[in-house]
Chain A
Amino acid sequence: DTEVTQTPKHLVMGMTNKKSLKCEQHMGHRAMYWYKQKAKKPPELMFVYSYEKLSINESVPSRFSPECPNSSLLNLHLHALQPEDSALYLCASSQWGGAGYTFGSGTRLTVV
């Protein structure tokens, strides 16, 4: 299995909703990431988990809350989002040191 699987593919949520994005990989990668990508822009790093511990938080607002239940799973919990948070949310994984960086197909999030 050489894929990173993300669910759901599309999500529409209100500003008072709570939702979660899910990401799964079975490549034995020990680093997992969340990125946010706005249209016509490069991916922007949000969080990095190394060996199931949060190693990088790029000053992301607390309405985004990551969770790494085990080495194969990564979640992003969403609460009280704003319309400007609408974007493509990409999960990625890699081996230690960044080799084999693989992106999931993303969740297109719309906040209404």
Chain B
Amino acid sequence: GENVEQHPSTLSVQEGDSAVIKCTYSDSASNYFPWYKQELGKRPQLIIDIRSNVGEKKDQRIAVTLNKTAKHFSLHITETQPEDSAVYFCAASTGNEKLTFGTGTRLTIIP
């Protein structure tokens, strides 16, 4: 089955700096890659996703890049703000309903 690895497990950045979280996947049939943000005690919320026919997608301060050959995808957050502090999960799917999640990255923005 699919295996998703996520790094780093914790990340601290100064407010205003950029943060990058990386994930690798094992199943070359995976074609859908969402990213979720989960604040303490709350639900995971989809923040951005990308499909395998696209190399990059951007939404304001958030961007995701996908390298199908290397089977890795990354989340980029620019101009970080305190409210960006949360746990971020990457995930991968082959297009059926099953999402395989990475282990999560705890991002802390230092004011």
User: B25 within 8 Å of A by Cβ?
Assistant: no
Bound together, the chains give a CA A94 to CA B93 distance in angstroms of: 13
Query: Does B95 contact A97, Cβ atoms closer than 8 Å?
Result: yes
- Given A90-B43, A103-B44, A106-B43; A42-B101 close (CB under 8 Å): yes
In the complex, which residues of chain A have a beta carbon less than 8 angstroms from the beta carbon of B36? 103
Where chain B touches its partner, the secondary structure class is loop
Query: Does B97 contact A42, Cβ atoms closer than 8 Å?
Result: no
User: B46 within 8 Å of A by Cβ?
Assistant: yes
User: B103 within 8 Å of A by Cβ?
Assistant: yes
Contact of B97 (CB < 8 Å), options: A31, A41, A102: A31
With both chains docked as a complex, state the minimum distance between the C-beta of B86 and any C-beta of chain A, in angstroms: 13
With most chain B CB atoms within 10 A of its CB, the pick from A45, A99, A101, A102 is A101
Bound together, the chains give a CA A97 to CA B51 distance in angstroms of: 12
Bound together, the chains give a CA A97 to CA B99 distance in angstroms of: 10
| Residues on B facing A (Cβ under 8 Å) | 32, 34, 36, 42-46, 87, 89, 93, 95-99, 101-104
